[in-house]
Amino acid sequence: MTGKGQGFGFGLGKMKELADAFKKAQQVQEGAKRLQEELEQMEIQGESGGGLVKVIVSGNQEPKRVEISPDALGQGAELLSDLVTVAMKDAYNKSTATMRERMEDLTSGLELPGF
Q: Which domains does the chain have, with CATH numbers?
A: 12-107 (3.30.1310.10)
- Of the candidates 84, 77, 33, the one whose C-alpha atom is nearest the C-alpha of residue 63 is 84
- pLDDT tens, 54-65? 999 999 899 999
Which residues neighbour 112 within 8 Å (Cβ) at sequence distance 6 or greater? 28
Mean pLDDT, range 67-91, rounded to an integer: 94
Q: Give residue 32's pLDDT.
A: 86
pLDDT for position 17: 84
Higher per-residue pLDDT: 43 or 32: 43
% of the chain exceeding 70 in pLDDT: 83
Position 4 pLDDT exceeds 60: no
Sign of the dihedral through C-alpha 49, 50, 53, 59: positive
Do the bridges between strand 53-57 and strand 63-68 make them parallel or antiparallel, or are there none, so unpaired? antiparallel
Q: What is the pLDDT of residue 104?
A: 86
- Kindly tell me if the per-residue pLDDT of 95 is higher than 80: yes
Residue 52 scores a pLDDT above 90: yes
Question: Per-residue pLDDT for 27 more than 70?
Answer: yes
Q: How confident is the model at residue 115 (pLDDT cuts 50, 70, 90)?
A: very low
